[in-house]
Structure 1
């Protein structure tokens, strides 16, 4: 088993030092895992990334296989959260970022991206697709059905009791207690929050006024928790709690079916992939910046609308040329059929479609 060292990088511009820790490589990767034969690979060096905690389990699988195939390569990924990951990449303290949302156009134009050469654009593409599950902990209740307005009212603090009529009317067979709801949200700037609130703003605009936001509004109250793991632990260890997290982390907690059209839809990787393939790319971006505009209000059968599309971000041209080939090879493995299957097996996410893979690979091929 191969374990990389704990790597500390001094962030630029007054950011505190971040510890970027490599995931353990395990024996699950075959000789050709990661796009190469470990006995013949000449690829070498250390690759540093940081960002979305939602990608944590997938990154472990990707790193394991890639390091097995390329024994002279060490990959470090620090799941600090999307906001911190984007900032770390912009400051040049990492070679790539994981983010649960794409960079906004104004952010791209403003820059700078210090890992990149001065004349470089960014390469940005969907790499990890997963439903965001609403998880809860209410004794005696394992599943609930909720529509968008009810979810919005719960997380904005307008519905405060589990036996509120809006919840009870959609769950006539559930034994709902007359107890307080504790809504758990991310305390850090989070792309998961951005995706969740994007759904609320689109599907329940009258009950969720802030729209898509990554920083939780203080006036809505609730309990804040750091990262995906923090939210899951807060819901698991609390009483009458509800939160939102990458569905791969739901495990034995209660989960919510979301109303789509006239039916309630449970989260599945297939339902998450369906909404991605039905959506378009945003306009006004470069050929290698593949940001999606998701249709959160789709009423197509079998579509689950609270989906997280997590991106990988790199440079078209790197300020340090030695990083370019490492990033290109690692990204290519991640989006390959083999890499997507490895992540799905580990994290339960939905592999990207072959048509999306073709578009993404063209963007990766532009890295130099």
Structure 2
């Protein structure tokens, strides 16, 4: 996906970033009235592939603001990112799922929410047209209880659709994934019949094909007629997949849009550690499979230059970088949550 980042950020300069950092406690003016020094060097991160389109756009835009700090993000999946963070192999990590004690030592990291987005239910059924799914029907499909497209449960919610007797192929993740966690958590919390639990990995039924990262799932759906899978909005849009409307907590069928994700954010409760759960949130306009995504940073950095670089880049991500979210198919954080994330960043990495 190639966005016109230069046009979006044409008015942002190193000076405006430095002033923003100063306002957040991350920079200072010298006696001659300059805007303060920006960070330099190199910082690296790995983790969730779900927000990769947003992070790639932000890194590209940030490079125009401060070319002296090289930022890299490797979308390895949430599980690998958390594991590498716990082993000290990256400077910060991206994750769509919460950290377990065996992954990272408790008390050594801080969650920083960045954006949110719908997890779409995408499918390849050329003659069917636009479909909608009840929550219980999705649970039955993804645990292998419904195996053909003309099943009466699918037909009941889609009376006008031309549903063939084609076998259903599930497109799922092969790697440890926060997208999998949030999708399975939604089915676990929203339905009475889901039996496969929730987590970064799931033992899917035999009619599934597994792909690596969201891009791998997208490829399976694109190549396999009769397939259905779960994938972030950015990757679904990038390859032109057809996505379904999903029943929400109010019984309304809602399409996966940024407006639906924003409505879900408004209905979510924030925890003390800045984690939150917008899945199946209240509100008639809420898209029910809206997933948060986070960066996790260390509470202590051995290298002051690395700490300064991490703080500067994430400050950019939480301020000017939020303007990139919509073009990358993500919902920006509500103002109150964005400010709390900035406060947490500034208190964790003090000057």
Counterpart residue number, 1:343: 325
CA contact (8 A) 1:340 1:351 kept: yes
CA contact (8 A) 1:187 1:216 kept: no
Counterpart residue number, 1:250: 236
Say which SS state the counterpart of residue 141 (structure 2) adopts: helix
Q: Using the TM superposition, give the Cα deviation of residue 24 of structure 1 relative to its aligned residue in structure 2, in angstroms.
A: 11
TM-score (norm 1): 0.83
Say which SS state the counterpart of residue 157 (structure 1) adopts: coil
Q: Using the TM superposition, give the Cα deviation of residue 219 of structure 1 relative to its aligned residue in structure 2, in angstroms.
A: 4.3
Q: Using the TM superposition, give the Cα deviation of residue 100 of structure 1 relative to its aligned residue in structure 2, in angstroms.
A: 0.8
Write out aligned runs for 1:41-60 (5 A).
42-60=38-56
Write out aligned runs for 1:83-122 (5 A).
83-104=79-100, 106-107=101-102, 111=105, 121-122=108-109
Counterpart residue number, 1:302: 285
Give the 3 Å change call, closer, same or farther, for CA 128–33 of structure 1 in structure 2: farther
Say which SS state the counterpart of residue 276 (structure 1) adopts: helix
Write out aligned runs for 1:200-349 (5 A).
200-206=187-193, 208-219=194-205, 221-251=207-237, 252-260=240-248, 261-282=250-271, 289-294=273-278, 296-336=279-319, 338-345=320-327, 347-349=328-330
Describe the superposition over 1:115-134 as per-residue Cα deviations: whole angstroms up to 9, x where unpaired.
xxxxx731212112000000
Q: Using the TM superposition, give the Cα deviation of residue 291 of structure 1 relative to its aligned residue in structure 2, in angstroms.
A: 1.1
Describe the superposition over 1:244-287 as per-residue Cα deviations: whole angstroms up to 9, x where unpaired.
1001222222211111223211111121122223222335xxxx
Structure 2 CA distance, aligned partners of 1:95 and 1:165?
51
Structure 1 CA distance, aligned partners of 2:139 and 2:332?
29
Counterpart residue number, 1:353: 334
Structure 2 CA distance, aligned partners of 1:277 and 1:324?
32
Give the 3 Å change call, closer, same or farther, for CA 299–290 of structure 1 in structure 2: closer
CA contact (8 A) 2:267 2:282 kept: no
Report how many residues are paired.
328
Check if 1:198 corresponds to 2:179. Answer: no
Give the 3 Å change call, closer, same or farther, for CA 298–57 of structure 1 in structure 2: closer
Cα RMSD (Å) of the superposition?
A: 2.4
Counterpart residue number, 1:182: 169
Deviation larger for 170-179 or 219-228: 219-228
> Which consecutive unaligned segments of at least 5 residues does structure 1 have?
1-22, 113-119, 284-288
Describe the superposition over 1:154-209 as per-residue Cα deviations: whole angstroms up to 9, x where unpaired.
11111000000000111010101111000111010100000001100011132x12
CA contact (8 A) 1:161 1:181 kept: yes
Say which SS state the counterpart of residue 230 (structure 1) adopts: helix
Structure 1 CA distance, aligned partners of 2:172 and 2:86?
26
Give the 3 Å change call, closer, same or farther, for CA 51–163 of structure 1 in structure 2: same
Structure 2 CA distance, aligned partners of 1:271 and 1:293?
15
Describe the superposition over 1:121-157 as per-residue Cα deviations: whole angstroms up to 9, x where unpaired.
3121211200000000002223111111100111111
Write out aligned runs for 1:61-140 (5 A).
61-104=57-100, 106-107=101-102, 111=105, 121-140=108-127
Q: Using the TM superposition, give the Cα deviation of residue 27 of structure 1 relative to its aligned residue in structure 2, in angstroms.
A: 3.9
Q: Using the TM superposition, give the Cα deviation of residue 344 of structure 1 relative to its aligned residue in structure 2, in angstroms.
A: 1.9
Counterpart residue number, 2:132: 145
TM-score (norm 2): 0.87
Give the 3 Å change call, closer, same or farther, for CA 219–365 of structure 1 in structure 2: same
